Amino acid sequence: MNIAEAVATRRSVREFLDTPVPLATIERVLDQARMTPSGCNYQPWEAVVLTGAPLKALQDVLLAAKADDPLEYNWAAPGAYPEYQARLQAVGAAMYGALQIERADKAARTDFMQANLVSFGAPVLLLCHFPKFMKEPQWSDVGMWLQTIMLLLRGEGLDSCPQEYMGNYGRTIKAHLGLSADTMLFCGLAIGWRDDDAPVNHFKRERVPLDQQVKFIGFD
């Protein structure tokens, strides 16, 4: 698979097959992803990767836990601005449409959001964290690392779903995994093989047209 195909075929998968993922595959991807660039070559990313019984044990803890109050970071903040709220609503409408969940059915929507806690059935969960003293540039470096992993996973025939939702349970996750309170639990990454029969893995995700995002200057 070339890079353009990996980019084009990556999507956030929200229903996985329960086929296990070999450790060697995950290690190969994470080893290759070490070449991700980062400002000052700080390489601020760290992670714990779980599968099998330890993953199930964490999920049981999460299902019994309440979300952090207050949250350690607010991943939904731009939603306060109408333009970004509209983008969230559009992807939500497409996703819940595929799931045949009505807009008014708040309970069903909440249940589906809670499916984040079991990573939509993915057999592997990567939990990405870094010291709390990291600032915006390093958060952005970590995003590049995650994208590199997601694209390399496509090269292995695998799929993923990034999961900021895990950040809602940062303190619970850190306590369960024995991570320092000075660590920021940023994001989960569900990893596995997509269930291609699941409609939730097929809805169209809209994107802003290029001419509204990028200005080209000085070209002929």
Binding site residues, ligand FMN, CB under 6 A: 11-12, 14, 91, 116, 161-165, 187, 205
Given the complex with ligand FMN, which of 164 and 196 has the nearer CB atom? 164
Give the residue nearest to ligand FMN (CB): 165
Tell me the C-alpha distance between 52 and 205, whole Å. 31
Shortest spacing between CB 161 and ligand FMN, in angstroms: 6
Given the complex with ligand FMN, which of 44 and 162 has the nearer CB atom? 162
Shortest spacing between CB 120 and ligand FMN, in angstroms: 7
- Pairing of β 46-51 and β 159-163: unpaired
Shortest spacing between CB 168 and ligand FMN, in angstroms: 8
Q: Which residues pair with 162 in a beta bridge?
A: 189
Tokens standing for residue 58: 């964490």
- Pairing of β 183-192 and β 159-163: antiparallel
Burial class, 186, CB count within 10 angstroms (exposed 0-12 / middle 13-18 / buried 19+): buried
Given the complex with ligand FMN, which of 51 and 163 has the nearer CB atom? 163
Cβ-contact 191, 10 below 8 angstroms? no
**Cβ atoms within 10 Å, residue 6:** 15
Shortest spacing between CB 162 and ligand FMN, in angstroms: 4
Shortest spacing between CB 114 and ligand FMN, in angstroms: 11
Shortest spacing between CB 10 and ligand FMN, in angstroms: 7
Given the complex with ligand FMN, which of 61 and 115 has the nearer CB atom? 115
Given the complex with ligand FMN, which of 23 and 76 has the nearer CB atom? 76
The CA-based angle 80-85-109, given to 5 degrees, is 110
Q: Which residue has the tokens 């809670």?
A: 114
Whether the ω angle into residue 70 lies within 30 degrees of 0, i.e. cis, is: yes
Given the complex with ligand FMN, which of 145 and 165 has the nearer CB atom? 165
